[in-house]
Amino acid sequence: MAEETQKIESPKGKQIGKITHYFSKIGVAVLALSGSLKTGDTIVISGHGKEFEQLVDSMQVEHENVSAAKAGDEVGMKVVEPVKEGCLVYLKG
């Protein structure tokens, strides 16, 4: 039987993605989205012993500024704290 990937609903909110890369010199993370995200949303990044909230004030897809992204997109955004690959991203509800 194949395992199904489920979006996790938690007190943090709905899981919408995962960090796939972090550029430490410029403080930018790449998120692989499994849900939609738009500017103005509040996200929670959790993993590797840390957790923090931040407002999405801008993001890019393929080096172009976008105001919204959908499942399957990879977006880049500045993060307020360093993150590591594998951290989970939640949309705060």
pTM of the model: 0.87
Instruction: Tell me, yes or no, whether 2 lies in a domain.
Output: no
Residue 5 is assigned to a structural domain of this protein: no
Query: Is residue 62 in some structural domain?
Result: yes
What is the number of structural domains in the chain? 1
Determine the pLDDT at residue 10.
65
The whole domain housing 67 covers 12-91
Look at residue 12 in the predicted model and tell me its pLDDT: 82
Q: Residue 8: what residue type?
A: I
Q: What is the CATH number of the domain that holds 43?
A: 2.40.30.10
pLDDT digits (tens, 9 = 90+) for 22-51: 999 999 999 999 999 999 999 999 999 999
